[in-house]
């Protein structure tokens, strides 16, 4: 139904209750779908693994035989390859009791490294063989500055 208001010089369209009702339902439907998609995406994010875990598993797999045999040269070789990565500042291996076995990369103390650049992250991955912890792999990583 159209009503023309000749006094004001333009046409007004009367919105009936059924049209308004349809608009409200459509808005609620779109909002509900948006919320459902956001819940699905958020739950998938909670279930996904951290980005560093595959890297940690990769290096742990490489260094495990050397740590098990306490092969200092091989441990240093793997740590040096980690430290060659553009974003890894320092890599180290610690014994199960916490003593440092080897370290490659910058020698600055960890608190100072983090203080200099608060976005740097530190990771520890247990080095295991047959469910027994042989030691720990540790590395400090620069923030990703790629745009």
Contact 140, 94 (CB under 8 A): no
Whether 140 shows a pLDDT value over 80: the answer reads yes
Q: How far is CA 121 from the centre of its chain?
A: 11
The Cα–Cα gap between 144 and 117 comes to 12
Over the stretch 5-22, which tens digit does the pLDDT of each residue have?
A: 555 545 556 656 677 788
Residues 6 or more apart whose CB falls under 8 angstroms from that of 22 comprise none
The Cα–Cα gap between 79 and 69 comes to 16
Over the stretch 46-105, which tens digit does the pLDDT of each residue have?
A: 554 455 567 778 888 889 999 999 899 999 999 998 888 868 889 999 998 889 899 998
CATH of domain 52-141: 3.30.450.20
Global pTM value: 0.59
Whether 113 shows a pLDDT value over 90: the answer reads no
Domain boundaries, the chain: 2-47, 52-141
């Amino acid at each position: 139904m159209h009503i023309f208001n000749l006094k004001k010089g333009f046409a007004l369209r009367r919105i009936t209750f059924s049209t308004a009702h349809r608009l409200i339902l459509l808005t609620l439907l779109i909002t509900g779908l948006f919320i459902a998609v956001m819940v699905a995406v958020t739950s998938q994010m909670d279930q996904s693994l951290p980005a560093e875990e595959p890297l940690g598993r990769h290096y742990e797999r490489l260094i495990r035989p050397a740590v098990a045999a306490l092969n200092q040269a091989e441990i240093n070789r793997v740590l040096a390859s980690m430290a060659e990565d553009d974003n890894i500042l320092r890599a180290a291996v610690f014994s199960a009791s916490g003593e440092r076995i080897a370290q490659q990369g910058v020698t600055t103390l960890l608190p100072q490294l983090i203080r200099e650049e608060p976005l740097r992250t530190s990771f520890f991955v247990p080095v295991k063989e047959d469910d027994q912890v042989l030691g720990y792999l540790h590395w400090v990583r620069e923030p990703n500055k790629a745009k």
